[in-house]
Amino acid sequence: MTGIADALVVFGITGDLARRSTLPALYSLSQQGLLTCPVIGVGRRPVSDDELRKHATEAIQAAEDDVDDAALAEFLGRLQYVGGNAEESSMYERLREVLACATLPVFYLATPPSMFDEIAEELAGAGLVGDESRLVVEKPFGTDLASARDLNRRLTAIFPEERLFRIDHFLGKEPVQDIMYLRFANAMFEPIWNREHVASIQITMAEDFGIDDRGGFYDPVGAIRDVVQNHLLQVLALVAMEPPSGDHDAIPRRREDVFRAMPAVDPREAVRGQYVGYRDIEGVQPDSDTETFVSLQLEIENWRWAGVPILIRAGKALPATATEIVIRLQRVPQLQWGGHRLYSPGYDDIVLRIGRQAGISIYVRAKTPGKAVSQPVSLDLDFAEELGEPPQPYERLLSDALRGDPTLFPRWSVVEETWRIVQPLLDEPPPVERYQPGSWGPTSSHAVAAAHGGWREPS
């Protein structure tokens, strides 16, 4: 689908997501000349256009180290506000007046997912959905396989699949996109990126902070729904997919192939944890069974990856904040000649860092001076230091949505497969095990990776 949007309508523009991500991203796009349409903010609060511009200015100044006054003024000039209850038809009548000249509007719902289908139906009822209109929604898309299917049925009845854009902000991260370039633009990687040379794949998403004041949001969700079903499985697809080729649909097709080749997770190969003190947080149920940590093992049953264990863990209140992918290579044979034995402790790992301090480390062996033993040493590349600061995820995603480029947005067939993969953990969840804040989760989670050399702790 092509065509540049001639209006962007942001529902929830006075909310936390818009303040932290949407408004700074739109300012940056405006500064680069990539935002060429008016931006209409929609919210419940009775806010004037000038008050919205003040709110936007404060959000941008908080996010940007150096604000260009001319670019800011140009962006603020695009802002308008329509206030009212999203469930009331009168608000949509006012919105229709503002959009009178728009033929290709994009509606972006930075709202709770419970409002997605209701807003879409109100837009359609007010005659605001044309043949070219697009709808952009945030995660989570459903809370399990059944609810995701129901939500998709409701939304695609109004916005067909090619005009429905589901945001997973991890796919907008530049280091995540770098995974494909590292694999397919370097002759040294692709020949070994398979079951013949790879012993295991690990993905760790660790956060050194807890839930804090977000108990009411997090408790109904948990780590599986929050980051595994979406973020980490999408990252895995980029790590494991075949080389893309063909039209703009090539990358989504290759991601989907990975998920179709994955059996659903076996709950017996998973561990759920909850850090001590979680139940004391405001908004959390006193007897909450919600996991703040999960580790699990997956497989991909295709020619490239059959037999290679894929280990995933994610958790809060851990010792570090980091998101890393570890490609652990097969051990080399231990050689002996005469009275000498080549002892090579440790593992040959390729570590892709896609969180803080994004980059890549390649661990190789070097001889210890004066001894017949090797030791792991790392070759390191820091992306920001070598290549410059990347754009923020919402810059890329909102720009693509405005242009109608669906490449980085998971389509329904992919979302359905990822829910299928994790659904057994939701139907028959392992018991929650308690762990101390600052530890690497429940002790039993170490057994998930023990047979494969153990987890590599982020550096």
* Fold annotation for 171-391+411-450: Dihydrodipicolinate Reductase; domain 2 (3.30.360)
pLDDT given at position 338: 64
CB 226 within 8 A of CB 232: no
Domains 7-138 and 171-391+411-450 share a fold: no
Residue ranges of domains in the chain: 7-138, 171-391+411-450
Q: What pLDDT is attached to residue 358?
A: 87
Catalytic residue among 231, 248, 340, 446: 231
Task: Write down the pLDDT at residue 170.
Answer: 86
CATH architecture assignment, domain 7-138: 3-Layer(aba) Sandwich (3.40)
pLDDT < 50 regions, the chain: none
Is 452 tagged catalytic? no
